[in-house]
Amino acid sequence: MKITFVGAGSVVFTQGLLADLFAFPELRDVHIALHDIDRERLSTSEAAARYIGTSRGMSPTVTAHADRREALAGADFVINIVQVGMAETTRTDFDVPARFGVRQTIGDTLGIGGIFRALRTFPLLRALGADIAEVCPSAWLLNYTNPMAMNVQYLTEVTGLTRVVGLCHSVYWTMRGLSELVDVPFEEVTYVAAGVNHQAWVLSWTRDGVNLYDALDALVEADPELRRRVRVDMYRRLGYYPTETSEHSSEYVPWYLHHDSEIARLRIPVGDYLGITDENVASYEQTRAALAAGEPLEVEPTMEYAPQVIHSIATGTPRVVYGNVPNRGLISNLPSGGTVEVPCLVDGSGVRPTRIGDLPPQLAALNRNYLSMNDLVVRAAVDEEPRHIRQAAMVDPATSGALPVERIWDLCNEMVRAHADRLPPALRVTL
């Protein structure tokens, strides 16, 4: 079995996925093919992969490829973890909007940062899809690259690939965190969540038939500090807990980031992702130095979904993961074709999403806005219509809540100029 990592130079994340893969004895002889355009990072990733495999008593074949098609040839699974432009473009995504007074915390999903991260990623996705269709057409493409929902929609619309699943750990870690909060073992809870990536909702959460939301309500009522978090505030007002962090969640609604009082009340860390980016660069440098010195690497399993999906398909072991897939009747009051996040049964037959039906109307209303903005960004690329970029920003809650419409267009023009060499040619115009 061959697993190809595209963007393997994201060394820290690659290491965690490999640690998870090598926890399964059945995968001991797997072929790990690593691809990245940065040769130094690719070399570091190769060395890390060999170390992790050996240190866990496995015997994988590890190959490194600067040529993507060579890495993909004959692959059974493709894990996409590319970040186009890396830290440099992330800083642009924050610095330019900040000059216009637009605040962001993470900037990788919606907002002005999410829009332009998507637009500079789409050309890579189109080329990747074409390569997969030619050299490994039966492979499963497991996407981690953000903005998740936009990328999965673009991939499924443009490439014609049908074995595409977007994977994100937000539901899993939300449920672990909530279970710890109410002091119930995670292994004993039953839950269902659904919605869109980074804005899904815990629809049910029980232990032995007992509704655990009641225990959460009691904690929230008793602890004023617990109420000083965005996702708790959203839960109190919407009735269902969101499955992404407060930092992320604050960007997807118009209620928080452009109010100084709300930033203070809910302790929102504006610009948080810039610090995370610096930490990732530092972690990479530490890994590279440790490998060069022959020192041991401390790599902990991450409980990510991709290794579980691969193991289930390869061995027939059934399990449920949360996947991001096209909405083909899965959530009936959200737009068809948009990317939704739902529980998926995975076994030897592949990945089968679960039909949820209607979301509660207040949740669907927020998710519809999210998917409408996504669709405009995808339409901008597919139809080569630069006006749709500006219209997506007009629909985006955080951007439209912070700026009048003329300034939104000015901001988009500045972002186009800043990212021009990475955007599809038809979208490099200012309006």
What tens digit of pLDDT does each residue of 41-64 get? 999 999 999 989 998 899 999 999
pLDDT at 299 over 90: no
- The CATH architecture of the domain made up of 2-166+296-301 is 3-Layer(aba) Sandwich (3.40)
Q: Which residues participate in the annotated binding site for substrate?
A: 146
Asked if the domains at 2-166+296-301 and 167-270+304-431 fall in one CATH topology, the answer is: no
- pLDDT tens digits, one per residue of 6-36: 999 887 788 899 999 999 999 999 999 999 9
Which of these is catalytic: 169, 259, 311, 419?
A: 169
pLDDT bucket at 276, cuts 50 / 70 / 90 = confident
Parallel, antiparallel, or unpaired for β 199-207 and 210-211?
antiparallel
- As beta bridge partners, residue 61 has 31
Whether 31 is catalytic is no
Contacts of 382 (CB under 8 A, 6+ apart): 154, 157, 158
CATH class of 167-270+304-431: alpha beta
Please name the residue ranges forming H helices in 294-334: 305-315
- pLDDT tens digits, one per residue of 149-195: 999 999 999 999 999 999 999 999 999 999 999 999 999 999 999 99
Both structure tokens of 351? 């990945």
Q: Mean pLDDT in the chain? A: 95
The model's pTM: 0.95
Contacts of 288 (CB under 8 A, 6+ apart): 11, 40, 44
- pLDDT tens digits, one per residue of 318-332: 999 999 999 999 999
Contacts of 192 (CB under 8 A, 6+ apart): 202, 203, 204, 343, 356
Q: What share of the chain in percent tops pLDDT 70?
A: 100
pLDDT bucket at 225, cuts 50 / 70 / 90 = very high
Both structure tokens of 206? 């029980």
pLDDT at 275 over 90: no
Cα 116 from Cα 122, distance rounded (Å): 10
Q: Which residues participate in the annotated binding site?
A: 146, 168, 198
Domain limits of the chain?
2-166+296-301, 167-270+304-431
How far is C-alpha 47 from the chain's CA centre?
A: 26
pLDDT at 281 over 90: no
Q: What share of the chain in percent tops pLDDT 90?
A: 87
What pLDDT does residue 231 have?
97
Q: Which residues participate in the annotated binding site for Mn(2+)?
A: 168, 198
Both structure tokens of 285? 């440098």
What pLDDT does residue 86 have?
83
Cα 73 from Cα 132, distance rounded (Å): 8
